[in-house]
Structure 1
Amino acid sequence: MNGHFVISLDYEIHWGVFDKKTVDDYKENLTNVSKVVDRLIEMSDKYNVKLTFSTVGFLFAKDKEDLLKHIPKNQPTYKLKEFNPYPLLEHIGNNEHDDPYHYALSKIKEIRDNRNHEIGTHTFCHYYCHEDGQTVEQFDADINAAKQIAAPLGIDLKSIIFPRNMIDADKAVDQPYLEVCQKHGITSFRGKEKAYIYNIHTTKFYHSWYFFKLLRLLDSYISVTGPNTYKVEQINKNKAVNNLPSSRILRTYTPKLKFLEPLKVRRIKKAMTYAAKHNEMFHLWWHPHNFGAQTDENFNNLEAIFKTYQELNKTYGFKSETMTGLSHIIDSTKA
């Protein structure tokens, strides 16, 4: 199996940050998401790169009536109420025209009609699997709602990105969530990086220690943890839902760290090259709203990465795949 390049995007607009920021707090980034999606599609098509848009189910709604029609009865009962998005529905606009921060049907149709990319799920309501109070049964109802709201568009959701990466493929406590995914026909998910500074279970009290945050930031610019690439046909043997682990988040352009931008891009390009030479997978991800500010600078970085992909494709047969596309390839090797 040749090496593969996977890009997954957590497509969420305000639903991904509602518990941390209001629309006004983050307005520039959120306002520009639609334009960012257009540019992502244009640039990826130019370089023959496939994208997986892991999309929050709320965004599929035509209007509020449509959204309310799909809401599951068994909603998450988080102990911390600020994580529950459902009370916010009372205050959002009626449709995408009124409220582009909470609906995205026109963009979803654009991605679908392009046919080069995949639309996966980011759960229906940006569901947090590791928060106290919620249950596996509530997650099941959430995924069912995500499948149901996508179905009329002819979209069969086959891949999932767990919000805030709240999944651990090797922990027994998380297996029931993957079993729910399998039940609903989902064949792949994005797991955490294998390096320990990323792969700390969310429930651990030291998960958010600044020490680990600092190491993760440093690792974006210099190789603290190595390339984080994977021979996916080995790590997914005998698994019904394929784990396609993250290799790296493409951090947003930061004016204060402008002098480090070349190192960040170089770090990604070197890991991609390692994956291409060793027939492994490199999985890059970020959120479209990350590109909503300093948009040109972020796209300049992305284009440099795409140019490297083109070179690796020609030299080593390094191939871009959606999450479901690669999952099909992996499953064919299991037989």
Structure 2
Amino acid sequence: MRNHGTFIISLDFELNWGVHDVFTLEQYEKNLLGTREAIDKMLELFDNLGIRATWATVGMLFFRNKEELMNNLPSNLPSYTNMEFSPYGKIGDIGENEEEDPFHYGQSLLKKISQYEGQEISTHTFSHYYCLEEGQTADQFEADLVASLKVSSTFGRPAKSIVFPRNQLNIDYLKICKKHGIESFRGNEKSWIYKESKFHKESPLKRMLRLADCYVNITGHNTYRLKNAGKAPLVNLASSRFLRPYEPKLKSLEKLRLRRIKKSLIHAAQNGEVYHLWWHPHNFGKDIEENLQFLTEILELVFRLNKQYGFESLTMGEATKIAFQLNEEKRYEKIRPQSHYEM
């Protein structure tokens, strides 16, 4: 029986494909260019402290050049009502390769990530696909997923876990994921303030409460037992906390933000529960030193909790395998007849 806790990191790796509909390239250029340095420093930090992580990667980042990308597009493109959500109309404007255009290609970064022990590459869909937006269909999602799994397999094996862009979980699409070999996903926290919604339907109140929840405990620790992650149809390795980037205007609140995370980590370690932390590498592309110092404090605590409680850093894939085993144990306990000595 597994009694110690689990620490999971997932990173939504997308570069400009994840923000093309929110910022102009000029508005977000500094973050995107700084992402490469931030990734180097994160990998070094993970390696030094034995931290394993899952890099949920947009499929478009895998290609060497535009020709390769164009030759591997999904067979059925999303027909969003708001076509600003679709990146396909913007491909004509991107550069020819990673050297010319570091905003839309990431193959060299993926190769670097793959060289580090304990770093897993999973899918963030092919095109940063929005599963709840109007106009798109299940068939289009399936075509996107197939294209994503095909290109991710060039880095060893097809992805086995998925992180849905903008956390737009569409329950109806989980069976499609299972059909194509996906075993787990990152769900949202249970509180209503984290409930999935369409991008432009997010209420200001929910945004305000989510921001406040980063500093004071509004929604609880958002930790859970791995054996309760379920498997119907996929294991739900739900989020515990989005690691917000450093904000100079809120510098005076940094100690509160750190304490909020540390208290939940300690709770998870002491109670044998899962703590799932996530962010985007581009969140660290600006104020790199401040963000890395904050992350270092978190991971050094995880390192100490591992020594004290056996709090274990796992990828989503590794945690999924254990969840399957725990579910089998639960099923066996239900069907196992009681012995004479247990009656």
TM-score by length of 1: 0.95
CA distance in 1, matches of 2:153, 2:247: 39
User: Aligned residue for 1:44?
Assistant: 46
Match of 2:251 among 234, 244, 258: 258
CA distance in 2, matches of 1:193, 1:328: 21
CA distance in 2, matches of 1:203, 1:30: 25
Shift of 1:116: 1.5
CA distance in 1, matches of 2:204, 2:133: 21
Residues 1:326 and 2:327 aligned together: no
CA distance in 2, matches of 1:179, 1:41: 33
Spell out the pairing of 1:153-232 with structure 2 (5 A cutoff): 153-167=155-169, 174-199=170-195, 201-203=196-198, 208-232=202-226
CA distance in 2, matches of 1:116, 1:234: 24
Spell out the pairing of 1:74-93 with structure 2 (5 A cutoff): 74-93=76-95
Instruction: Give the letter for the 1:330 counterpart.
Output: A
Shift of 1:180: 1.1
CA distance in 2, matches of 1:175, 1:162: 11
Corresponding residue SS for 1:52: strand
User: Aligned residue for 1:125?
Assistant: 127
Cα pair 1:119 1:155 within 8 Å, conserved: no
Once the two structures are superposed, what CA deviation does each residue of 1:205-229 show, in whole Å capped at 9, x if it has no partner? Answer: 8x52211211111110011111110
CA distance in 2, matches of 1:153, 1:267: 36
Corresponding residue SS for 2:56: strand
User: Aligned residue for 1:72?
Assistant: 74
User: Aligned residue for 2:333?
Assistant: none
Cα pair 1:47 1:310 within 8 Å, conserved: yes
Cα pair 2:270 2:309 within 8 Å, conserved: yes
CA distance in 2, matches of 1:17, 1:76: 17
User: Aligned residue for 2:236?
Assistant: 243
Once the two structures are superposed, what CA deviation does each residue of 1:42-99 show, in whole Å capped at 9, x if it has no partner? Answer: 0011111111110000000111111011101200000001001001110000111110
Corresponding residue SS for 2:320: helix
Once the two structures are superposed, what CA deviation does each residue of 1:136-186 show, in whole Å capped at 9, x if it has no partner? Answer: 11000001000111223323211111000000xxxxxx3331111111111
Instruction: Give the letter for the 2:142 counterpart.
Output: D
CA distance in 2, matches of 1:119, 1:314: 27
CA distance in 1, matches of 2:233, 2:203: 34
Cα pair 2:123 2:152 within 8 Å, conserved: no
Spell out the pairing of 1:140-155 with structure 2 (5 A cutoff): 140-155=142-157
Corresponding residue SS for 2:194: coil
CA distance in 1, matches of 2:78, 2:139: 9
Spell out the pairing of 1:16-35 with structure 2 (5 A cutoff): 16-35=18-37
Cα pair 1:248 1:284 within 8 Å, conserved: yes
RMSD (Å), alpha carbons: 1.3
Shift of 1:115: 3.0
CA distance in 2, matches of 1:79, 1:203: 12
Instruction: Give the letter for the 1:195 counterpart.
Output: S
Per mean C-alpha deviation after superposition, the further-off stretch among 111-120 and 321-330 is: 111-120
Shift of 1:203: 4.4
Corresponding residue SS for 1:138: helix
Segments of 5+ residues of structure 2 without an aligned counterpart are: 329-343
Cα pair 2:133 2:199 within 8 Å, conserved: no
Once the two structures are superposed, what CA deviation does each residue of 1:217-263 show, in whole Å capped at 9, x if it has no partner? Answer: 11100111111101121241x42311011000111100010010111
Equivalent pairs: percent with the same residue? 44
CA distance in 1, matches of 2:35, 2:11: 12
Q: Would you identify which runs of 4 or more consecutive aligned residues in structure 1 move more than 4 Å?
A: none
TM-score by length of 2: 0.93
CA distance in 1, matches of 2:43, 2:198: 36
Corresponding residue SS for 1:114: coil
CA distance in 2, matches of 1:210, 1:66: 41
Segments of 5+ residues of structure 1 without an aligned counterpart are: 168-173
Shift of 1:334: 2.0
CA distance in 1, matches of 2:35, 2:287: 12
